[in-house]
Structure 1
């Protein structure tokens, strides 16, 4: 089974349910990762604030951070290959990457999303996670 790792910018929490502004992408990726872990997928998230060693110990991630920096996060890597930058993959995309193809959509039909699109760097707005502003952290 493929190894999926998602590397994220520095956040005080991974759920997105803290502070005044809820980050829907964090809520979704948290649920998606837990869903796939429950199905036996080898998937994990690494937060720059909580797990900086993960960013320096992986050659692909280290090179990405040296070249692009944290502005390009999140970064999704499957078996050492970068598959997405700047945004989180959808549940269907993660299922395909995990080798759990034939993902059912909300109607129960099989997904046919094909190859995963790559998000261009710098085109997504950074939410800053749940930290910052006048609200502080969780």
Structure 2
């Protein structure tokens, strides 16, 4: 079974929707992880601010942080091996790792916009 771990830099949340500006890359990866979760897959995610022990306990990540500092974050580990530094996996990479189509990891938008109906309450 595929095991993916993402070691995020220190941040207040994993979605990228907090703070003065939205980071589209954080939004994309959060959405892809959410879609994987709906399919029963799990990605372990660790935030340096909230889970510092995970960074210390993982020898590969700990070594990388000592060598390169926090600029190497996020670090992505696939089945125990570091496969990415300083960037999140692409949707294409996640799909490949989990043997899925890329379209399965993109949130479906409604085909037609929602229309509001005004109800007259007399």
If the TM-score is normalised by the length of the shorter chain, which range does it land in?
A: 0.7 to 0.9
Q: How many residues align?
A: 104
Unpaired runs of 5+ residues, structure 2, are 105-122
2:18 aligned residue:
18
> Deviation at 1:33?
1.0
The TM-score with structure 1 as length reference comes to 0.69
Normalised by the length of structure 2, the TM-score is 0.78
Q: Secondary structure at the match of 2:45?
A: strand
Which is richer in helix? Answer: 2
Residue in structure 2 matched with residue 101 of structure 1 by the alignment:
99
- CA displacement at 1:104 relative to structure 2: 3.9
Larger Rg: 2
Higher relative contact order (CA 8 A, sep 6+): 1
The Cα RMSD (Å) is: 1.5
Find runs of 4+ consecutive structure 1 residues off by over 6 angstroms: none
Aligned ranges 1:20-35 → 2 under 5 Å: 20-35=20-35
Q: Which runs of 5+ in 1 are unaligned?
A: 107-138
Task: Indicate the residue corresponding to 1:89 in structure 2.
Answer: 89
